[in-house]
Structure 1
Amino acid sequence: MIPELAPAKACAAKVLIADDEPNIVVSLEFMMKREGFEVLVARDGRAALEAIRREHPRLVLLDATMPGMSGFDVCEAVRADADVRSTCIVMLTAKGRETDMARGVGAGADAYVTKPFSTRDLVQQVKDMLAKDTAARALATGSAGAGELPKDMPA
């Protein structure tokens, strides 16, 4: 008799929250965990870059202005590093001028969100970006069958 195997549990996507504002970190961490993501936190730019290189999160919520190293500089460093350049990056910032947005996109951010923002809308944007990224990776590798759900996305 062959024992029945329990269905494999999907791995939660890792999301790094890189922000020096405690209230924003607490709020985002709660929301992301509630949605089933594995959440990492960095409180300054250098710690964020180290965490990205060490932990390989799928997505980073990156504050533009942090101590040690700006979010713009972190973003540029990530895009220049072949090991982590495919990481999705959402810049979070109070800097809402067109020149600031252009700088964020120019640094390699996939999205630019100005503070204050709706946490619910941001969570949906994160889910949408990760679903799109998962589909693109599956197409690139030819690994997902038609109608197959991504294995690393929370249900």
Structure 2
Amino acid sequence: MEAHNHFTCIAYDTIDFLIQSKYVIFGIYLDVEKNVQNIVFNRETLPHIHIGHLLEKEFDCKSLEDCNVVLVMKKQNFAADVQKMIEDFTETAFPASGNLAVSVNSSVSSKIIDIKNLHLIPSSIRERQNECGVCAIGLTGKKQILISPDNLLKKFFAVGLIKKVGL
């Protein structure tokens, strides 16, 4: 399945889940495909799980538009109680490797924020993100923002499809 980067930001209104950098290795944007059950990460087939309703209910994430973010996590870095909630909700166990791909339907904003305005997570995690086409994950106020790659943003700005806005 081919991954597509979007020019939108994904914002969460909570800092309780999927924001602590120790939980998140990287995220990639995927087109919404209702019939896709699995994705491949490091040559391992991972379950493609939709947990948008769980996030909305438990963590106050609002779903405004259909757009998927896949977050790949390591089991040993994931809080046991949150892991159990996801397993109970999806009725799916973590793969033997401990990696889990979670598809999240979340709120989408067209606001683009300059990376220098974000408090970035550690460089080792950023390097993994860059390898997978994600430019930054950072906190501004109480929101987490995933921003698509610089070159893609520049292309959209250059042709006038999106305009930069201030904070």
| TM-score with structure 2 setting the length | 0.25
Greater helix share, 1 or 2?
A: 1
| TM-score with structure 1 setting the length | 0.26
Q: Which has the higher contact order (CA 8 A, sep 6+)?
A: 2
